[in-house]
């Protein structure tokens, strides 16, 4: 690393002025010092992800309308080929509110935890959650409105609010004996909408999206959603992560520009301290992989490469 | 000056950050505390069989809709926000579609949280509510009127065109109740070789408004018309011990004798009687969660 940072830029500018210019601009630990970029498919993972998300939500729809019994129920609880699955946050709320521990619910919860340890925690958010898809379009709209100066600025909240929400709604479940969050949960709301038809409560989803587009970018997913918190916690222990190759990175920071939770890349791309994007906030959406023209970011299974 | 400006900007931003966090946390707590009394619905909804006691049911339902997916007659619906407390919780409107207490209760088996209690396995064990004669003044049984005659008369007098589906069920029920002599009469009238499902559609094809008057007269003359409507009992899915018993009572004032359906302990509140009741407004309705007592009868 020190070698590159010490490259005599002054001498280089005489031989290769363009490269010297690109090196001077660079701020960060990446080691790549050629400006030749690998040709990448710019939207590969995005489209695979959208396809997967729509397919999963279609399965819910298909189970009800065409009686194709692969994935029945909705995102709060379902059955995959007959095996129970239950959202961890909803399950916790129910156990606290009803003060009953039912075997099926525990089995469903454990199944979901195991599945998302394999798939990578907040993989749920970007690959399964229907609200995420809407919010993604909302984010695009928000960015273009800012670019056109129709909106002055993006308002940033405290990222920890969602952890407070997680605790508050669990405590409220215990105290009031009612799962209050489920009434304002846009994830299960949208999931039910696909299967069982819409209701007036959809105005709440519209309100949230409007808030995100006009006031604070990606507010629900970033700052508030306690459903994602469960998957966030699972994400820390999941070995399925984004791997960063310091030798290929030229520090263009394009990954950070497209990332939906940009701070997760700090330890790697900004500081060069870690080989993997370790944070549980990472949704494994693959936008950074698509954006990286150096091929420095890849999906990888941590520890596995060391074993082999 | 420039430095001051930056500091000022930083401060307001930090204040916004802290302030907004507190507002959000406060909002969440306030919402949670306020939503419980605010969203509580006045009217109880009729829940699917096996539902836990209402408060516990609301606490434990995960709102996934799996009960609705497996429901063979597809009569379970999910509550909307304007229906009070339980957004996304399952309920039944018996007049539109009643629970038929399927064998093995698939909705109960599908429930992942035990909100529909897995302790029950048969419809007869359910405690959804109780049937109540809510409009004795219209009840055909109390009036002493046969339901088939009543329905055919309605058809004759109404100006709307006949619904073939409804007529077909009426005719099927009529034929099932006819004596052998009456069946012969029926065959002669419609020039039929035998009586079966196909012949009903043959009869339906020939039927027009004038024939309905003949049907009314014919049905009034049959033996089964001597007995008043008992459709609530006939359609009841509980067969072992009759949930409805027809008792003969005497009117205290006029001294007239009349027959009245009396709901028994075995009624589970499935609502089929409410669905099938022939009067325009159902004379028998389900009161959700009501428990049977000696006095109610």
Residue B172 is predicted with a pLDDT of 83
Nearest to B63 among A64, A72, A188 (CB): A188
pLDDT of residue B240: 81
Contact between A64 and B36 using a beta-carbon 8 Å cutoff: no
Is residue B103 a contact partner of residue B124, using CB atoms and an 8 Å limit? no
Helix runs in chain A, H state only: 2-5, 9-15, 17-25, 44-65, 88-98, 103-119, 123-127, 130-147, 161-176, 181-184, 186-196, 202-214, 219, 226-237, 254-258, 287-291, 304-307
How many percent of chain A have pLDDT more than 70? 86
pLDDT at position A261 over 90: no
pLDDT class for A151, splitting at 50, 70, 90? confident
> Residues of chain B whose C-beta is under 8 A from some C-beta in A?
16-18, 20-21, 24-25, 28-29, 31-33, 35-36, 39, 55-56, 58-66, 68-70, 78, 80-82, 85, 87-88, 110-114
Contact: B69, A184; criterion CB under 8 Å: no
Highest mean pLDDT among A225-234, A240-249, B225-234: A225-234
**Residue B56: which H helix or E strand, with range?**
helix B54-60
Alpha carbon distance A290, A50 (integer Å): 14
Q: pLDDT at residue A283 above 80?
A: yes
The residues near B188 (Cβ < 8 Å, ≥ 6 apart) are none
| Interchain pair B32, A182: CB under 8 A | no
For residues B233 and B273, give the distance between their C-alpha atoms in angstroms, rounded to a whole number.
7
Which of A6-20, A104-118, A251-265, B126-140 is the most confident on average? A104-118
| Whether B131 contacts B168, CB under 8 Å | no
Say how far apart CA B220 and CA B204 lie, in whole Å. Answer: 19
Find residue B263's DSSP bridge partners: B244
Band (pLDDT 50/70/90 cuts) for residue A10 is: very low
Give the model's pLDDT for residue B249: 83
Measured distance CA(A71)–CA(A58) in Å, rounded? 9
State whether B112 and A73 contact (CB < 8 Å).
Answer: yes
- The tokens for A114 are 């195991």
Gap from A283 CA to chain B (nearest CA, Å):
23
Pairwise CA distance, residues A151 & A26, whole Å: 31
Give the separation between CA B98 and CA B270, rounded to whole angstroms: 6
The 3-state secondary structure of A92-161, one letter per residue: HHHHHHHCCCCHHHHHHHHHHHHHHHHHCCCHHHHHCCHHHHHHHHHHHHHHHHHHCCCCCCCCCCCCCH
* C-alpha distances in Å from residue B238, one per residue of A122, A157, B67, B235: 49, 59, 21, 9
CA distance A42 to chain B (A): 35
At A66 the pLDDT is 86
What is the rounded distance in angstroms from the CA atom of residue A250 to the CA atom of residue B205?
82
CA-based R_g, chain B, Å: 28
CB-nearest partner of B112 from A98, A108, A200: A108
Is the Cβ pair A86, B24 closer than 8 Å? Answer: no
CA distance B112 to chain A (A): 6
* Predicted local confidence at residue A5, as pLDDT: 42
Encode burial over B8-42: b for 16+ CB neighbours within 10 A, e otherwise: eeeeeeeeeeeebbeebbeebeebbeebbeebeee
| Chain A residues near residue B39 by CB distance under 8 angstroms | 183
Can you name the residues that pair with A240 across neighbouring β-strands?
A: A301
| B54–chain A nearest CA distance, Å | 11
Segment A237-251 shows an average pLDDT of: 86
Contact B114 A183 (CB under 8 A): no
User: Tens digit of pLDDT per residue, chain B (297 long)?
Assistant: 444 444 555 556 677 777 788 888 888 888 877 777 766 666 788 999 999 988 899 889 999 989 988 899 999 988 887 776 678 889 999 999 999 999 989 999 999 998 998 888 888 888 899 999 888 888 888 888 888 888 888 878 877 777 778 788 888 888 888 888 888 887 888 777 777 777 777 777 777 777 778 888 888 878 777 788 888 998 899 888 888 888 888 877 888 888 888 888 889 999 999 999 989 899 999 999 888 886 554
Residue A40 pLDDT > 90, yes or no? Answer: no
Residues from chain A that touch B81, judged by Cβ atoms under 8 A, are 183, 199-201
Phi-psi region of A86 (alpha: psi -120 to 50; beta: other; left: phi over 0): beta
The answer to whether residue A9 scores a pLDDT higher than 60 is no
Q: Are B115 and B255 in contact (CB under 8 A)?
A: no
Contacts of B24 in chain A (CB under 8 A): 157, 161, 164-165, 223-224
ipTM value for the complex:
0.80
Give me the mean pLDDT over the A163-168 stretch: 92
Instruction: Identify the pLDDT of residue A26.
Output: 55
Higher pLDDT, A36 or B259: B259
The C-alpha of B168 sits at a distance from chain A's nearest C-alpha, in angstroms, of 29
Q: What is the mean pLDDT of residues A201-221?
A: 91
DSSP state of B291: P
Beta strands in chain B (DSSP E): 76-78, 90-92, 129-133, 244-250, 257-263, 284-288
CB contact under 8 A, A158 and B55: no
pLDDT value of residue A220: 92
- pLDDT bin (cut points 50, 70, 90) of residue A1 is very low
Phi, psi dihedrals of residue B159, rounded to the nearest 5°: -90, -15
Q: Which residue has the tokens 């409007």?
A: A210
The string of pLDDT tens digits covering residues A43-95 is: 889 999 999 999 999 999 888 888 888 888 889 999 998 899 999 999 999 99
Residue of chain A with shortest Cα separation from B52: A98
Give residue A4's pLDDT. 43
What's the predicted TM-score (pTM) here? 0.82
Give me the residue label for tokens 């310091």: A246
Residue from B16, B56, B69, B86 to probe the interface with A (highest A Cβ count within 10 Å): B69
Least confident range from A146-150, A200-204, B176-180, B287-291: namely B176-180
In B, minimum Cα distance to A97 occurs at B59
The count of other CB atoms within 10 Å of the CB of residue B220 is 14
Q: Are A172 and A180 in contact (CB under 8 A)?
A: yes
Answer yes or no: do A76 and B59 touch at CB < 8 A. no
Average pLDDT, integer, range A279-295: 88
Establish how many alpha carbons lie within 13 A of residue A289's alpha carbon, considering only the half-sphere containing its beta carbon.
Answer: 20
Interface touch A108/B24, C-beta < 8 Å: no
By CB neighbour count within 10 A (0-12 exposed, 13-18 middle, 19+ buried), where does B104 fall?
Answer: exposed
Contacts of B295 (CB under 8 A, 6+ apart): none
Best mutation target among B112, B118, B119 (most A Cβ atoms within 10 Å) is: B112
CA distance B88 to A76: 11
Interchain proximity A182–B87, CB inside 8 Å? yes
Q: A81 vs A32, which has greater pLDDT?
A: A81
Backbone φ, ψ for residue A147 (5° rounding): -60, -40
Q: Give the pLDDT mean for A10-33.
A: 55
Question: H-type helices in B74-192, by residue range?
Answer: 106-110, 140-143, 147-157, 164-177, 180-190
Q: How far is A98 from chain B (nearest CA, A)?
A: 5
Residue B128: strand, helix, or coil: coil
Nearest CB to A74 within list B29, B64, B80: B64
Q: What is the pLDDT of residue A3?
A: 39
Give the range among A12-16, A26-30, A245-249 with minimum mean pLDDT: A12-16
pLDDT value at residue A291: 87
**Residue A267: pLDDT above 80?**
no
Q: How far is A204 from chain B (nearest CA, A)?
A: 11
The answer to whether A68 and A82 have CB atoms below 8 angstroms apart is: no
Strand partners, B88: none
Nearest CA in chain A to B37: A176
Instruction: Select the residue from A158, A160, A173 to test the B interface by mutation, using most B Cβ atoms within 10 A.
Output: A158
CA distance A275 to B134: 73
Which phi and psi (to 5°) does residue B77 adopt? -125, 165
Q: What tokens were used for B41?
A: 């619905």
Mean pLDDT of A272-287: 87
CA distances from A122 to A137, A161, A188, B254 (A): 19, 17, 16, 76
Q: Which of A116-120, A142-146, A161-165, B187-191 has the lowest mean pLDDT?
A: B187-191
CB B142 within 8 A of CB B260: yes
Among B65, B68, B106, most A C-beta atoms within 10 A, so best to mutate, is B65
State the residue for tokens 């207490």: B101
Residue in B35, B65, B111 nearest the CB of A183: B35
CA pair distance A21, A3, nearest whole angstrom: 18
Per-residue model confidence (pLDDT) at position B98: 92
Reported as a single tens digit per residue, the pLDDT across B269-280 is 999 999 999 898
Tell me if A177 and B39 make a contact (CB, 8 A cut-off): no
Distance, CA of A85 to CA of A88 (rounded, Å): 9
Q: What is the pLDDT of residue B4?
A: 45
Per-residue pLDDT at B39: 65
Chain A and chain B share a number of CB contacts under 8 A equal to 144
Give the closest of B59, B66, B81 to A72, CB-based.
B66
Distance from CA of A102 to the nearest CA of B (A): 6
B85 vs A contacts (CB less than 8 Å): 178
Interface contact B59-A179, CB threshold 8 A: yes
Q: What percent of chain B has pLDDT over 70?
A: 91
Half-sphere exposure of A258 (CA within 13 A, CB side): 17
Partner residue opposite B59 with nearest CB, options A77, A79, A178: A178
């Amino acid at each position: 690393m020190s070698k590159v940072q010490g490259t005599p830029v002054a001498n280089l500018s005489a031989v290769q002025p363009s490269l010297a210019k690109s090196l001077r601009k660079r701020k960060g630990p990446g080691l790549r010092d050629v400006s030749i970029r690998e040709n990448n498919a710019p939207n590969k993972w995005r489209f695979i992800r959208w396809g997967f998300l729509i397919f999963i939500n279609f399965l819910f729809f298909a189970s009800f309308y065409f009686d194709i019994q692969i994935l029945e129920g909705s995102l709060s609880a379902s059955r995959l080929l007959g095996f129970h699955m239950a959202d961890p946050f909803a399950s916790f709320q129910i156990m606290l509110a009803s003060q009953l521990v039912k075997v099926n619910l525990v089995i469903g919860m454990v199944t979901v935890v195991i599945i998302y340890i394999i798939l990578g925690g907040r993989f749920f958010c970007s690959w399964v959650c229907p609200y995420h898809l809407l919010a993604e379009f909302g984010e695009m709209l928000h960015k273009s409105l800012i670019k056109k100066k129709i909106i002055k600025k993006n308002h940033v909240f405290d990222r920890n609010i969602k952890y407070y929400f997680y605790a508050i709604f669990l405590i409220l479940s215990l105290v009031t004996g009612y799962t209050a969050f489920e009434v304002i949960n846009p994830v299960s709301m949208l999931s039910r909408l696909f299967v069982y038809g819409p209701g007036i409560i959809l105005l709440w989803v519209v309100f949230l999206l409007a808030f995100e587009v006009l006031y604070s970018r990606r507010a629900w997913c970033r700052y508030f959603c306690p459903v994602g918190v469960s998957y966030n916690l699972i994400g820390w222990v999941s070995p399925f992560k984004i791997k960063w190759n310091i030798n290929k990175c030229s520090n263009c920071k394009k990954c950070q520009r497209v990332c939906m939770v940009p701070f997760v890349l700090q330890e790697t791309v900004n500081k060069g301290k870690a080989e993997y994007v370790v944070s549980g906030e990472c949704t494994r959406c693959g936008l950074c992989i698509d954006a990286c023209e150096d091929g420095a970011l890849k999906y990888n299974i941590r520890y596995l490469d060391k074993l082999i | 000056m420039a430095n001051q400006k930056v500091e000022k900007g930083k401060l307001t931003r930090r204040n916004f950050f802290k302030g907004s966090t507190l507002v959000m946390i406060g909002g969440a707590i306030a919402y949670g505390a306020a939503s419980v009394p605010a969203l509580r619905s006045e009217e109880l909804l009729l829940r699917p069989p096996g539902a836990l006691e209402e408060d516990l049911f609301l606490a434990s339902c995960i709102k996934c809709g799996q009960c609705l997916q497996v429901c063979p007659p597809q009569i379970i619906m999910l509550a909307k926000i304007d229906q009070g407390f339980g957004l996304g919780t399952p309920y039944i409107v018996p007049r539109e579609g009643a629970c038929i207490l399927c064998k093995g209760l698939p909705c109960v088996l599908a429930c992942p949280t035990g909100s529909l209690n897995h302790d029950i396995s048969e419809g007869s064990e359910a405690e959804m509510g109780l049937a109540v004669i809510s409009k004795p003044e219209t009840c055909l049984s109390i009036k002493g009127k046969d339901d088939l005659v009543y329905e055919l008369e309605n058809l004759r007098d109404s100006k709307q065109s006949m619904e073939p589906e409804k007529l077909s069920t009426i005719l099927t029920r009529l034929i099932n109740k006819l004596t052998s002599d009456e069946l012969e009469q029926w065959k002669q009238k419609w020039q039929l070789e035998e009586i079966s499902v196909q012949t009903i559609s043959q009869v339906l094809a020939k039927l027009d408004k004038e024939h309905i008057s003949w049907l009314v007269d014919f049905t009034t003359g049959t033996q089964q018309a001597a007995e008043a409507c008992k459709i609530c009992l006939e359609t009841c899915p509980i067969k072992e011990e009759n949930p409805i018993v027809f008792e003969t009572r005497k009117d205290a004032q006029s001294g007239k004798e009349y027959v009245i359906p009396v709901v028994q302990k075995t009624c589970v509140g499935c609502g089929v009687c409410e669905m099938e009741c022939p009067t325009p407004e159902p004379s028998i309705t389900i009161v959700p969660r009501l428990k049977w007592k000696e006095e109610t009868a």
